[in-house]
Amino acid sequence: MSISVNEASDIQREISERSAPDYLDQLEAEAIYIMREVAGQFERPALLFSGGKDSITLVHLAKKAFAPGKIPFPLVHVDTGHNFIEAIEYRDELAEQINAKLIVRYVEDTIKAKGLKEQTGKNASRNWLQTFTLLDTIEEFEFDACIGGARRDEEKARAKERIFSFRDEFGQWDPKRQRPELWNLFNGRIQKGENVRVFPISNWTELDVWAYLKREGIALPSIYFAHERELILRDGKLLNNTPVIEPDPEDQIVTRQVRFRTVGDMTCTAAVESAAATLDEVIAEITISRISERGETRIDDQQTEAAMEDRKKGGYF
């Protein structure tokens, strides 16, 4: 029996009317819409790229949003010098593969040029100093919008932040003076010198990102999957054994099978013990995990109850 084209499309429509849309399609459509609003509303946008899974997801979404054209903005990386080598390699390969402009600025250079004082001692990190380099980079290239991969489920201050997050000329976020964000009408109007941070995957959860990476067949840096590594065991957390981490007398050096659940600076990102070597296995582990992503792996958020809120007020991502 043959079905005519018309009948076939009728049947298709019936199916699409009956079955609810998939949440990943809904989230993807929203993120693409936001990316296009950035391209439509701003003159000099940029995509902040770290080599982590969230910004990898952003690049993939941007590719889809503007296909068959190129992504109409550069990728910008603020390199602390404390990044995982695997993430840096991935960054360079991806930029080349999609023929994107990659701008890298180094925290090391900012420290030297401006005589910034680095944190010292146990758990010293350049995390906060990134803000200086980021703001300088925004000024240098006159970026009016910076797309970032932050998600609202990550952290309680982020749960309050707008998708188009207005920053004043000092890059500061003021949680009490956020613009009302109604429907999907994003207001990106700013004065010269001000900028907007845009978070297209605000409404995605950690699990959504993993499910999407799997569905779309997106490759990730190898550190996201189980491997043997030499680590520093400190206060119950496993940190990469690297010279950029100041040693502490209490440290123990151990070798474990681990993967990284988030990829930030080596100084403030902990590994989790795991045998999950594939996307499916990682997703299975996260699904049953009883500890949140940042709680398990981030040292920077645990210093005070409002650590992220304070960093954002100071111009952080």
Partner 1 sequence: MDLLRFITAGSVDDGKSTLIGRLLYDTKNILADQMEAIERASKTRNAGEIDLALLTDGLRSEREQGITIDVAYKYFQTPNRKFISIDAPGHIQYTRNMVTGASNADLAIILVDARHGVVEQTRRHSLIASMLGIPHVIVAVNKMDLVGNSEDAFLQIAKSYKELAEKLSIKDLTIIPVSALNGDNIVDRSESMTWYTGETLLSVLENVNVLKDQNQEDGRFAVQYVIRPQTDELHDYRGYAGRVQSGTFKKGDAIKVLPSERESKIAKIEFGGNEIQEASVLQSVTILLEDDIDISRGDTIVTVDNSPIVSQDIEALVCWMDDKKTLKPGNKYVLQHGTARSRCSIRDIEYQIDINSYEKLDEVEALKLNDVARIVLRTAQPIAYDPYQKNRANGAAILIDETSNVTVGACMIE
The residues binding partner 1 (CB under 8 A) are 9, 12-13, 16-17, 20-23, 25-30, 32-33, 36-37, 39-40, 63-70, 152-153, 156-157, 159-160, 175-176, 178-185, 187, 189-191, 202-203, 205, 289-292, 295-296, 305-306, 309
Distance CA 198, CA 35 (A): 9
Nearest-approach distance from CB 185 to partner 1, in angstroms: 5
Nearest-approach distance from CB 251 to partner 1, in angstroms: 23
- CB nearer to partner 1: give 179 or 227: 179
Nearest-approach distance from CB 317 to partner 1, in angstroms: 17
Nearest-approach distance from CB 114 to partner 1, in angstroms: 29
Residue 81 to residues 87, 104, 111, 209, 269: CA-CA distances in angstroms? 12, 11, 11, 26, 14
- CB nearer to partner 1: give 4 or 191: 191
- CB nearer to partner 1: give 76 or 196: 196
Token couple for 165: 């997050």
Nearest-approach distance from CB 69 to partner 1, in angstroms: 4
- CB nearer to partner 1: give 1 or 185: 185
Whether the bond into 68 is cis, omega within 30 of 0: yes
Q: Report whether 273 contacts 256 (CB < 8 A).
A: yes
Nearest-approach distance from CB 60 to partner 1, in angstroms: 9
Question: Under DSSP, is residue 4 helix (H, G, I), strand (E, B) or coil?
Answer: coil
Distance CA 71, CA 148 (A): 15
Neighbours of 141 (CB within 10 A): 14
- CB nearer to partner 1: give 1 or 20: 20
Distance CA 148, CA 134 (A): 12
Question: Under DSSP, is residue 59 helix (H, G, I), strand (E, B) or coil?
Answer: helix
Task: Identify the DSSP state of 311.
Answer: H
- CB nearer to partner 1: give 127 or 202: 202
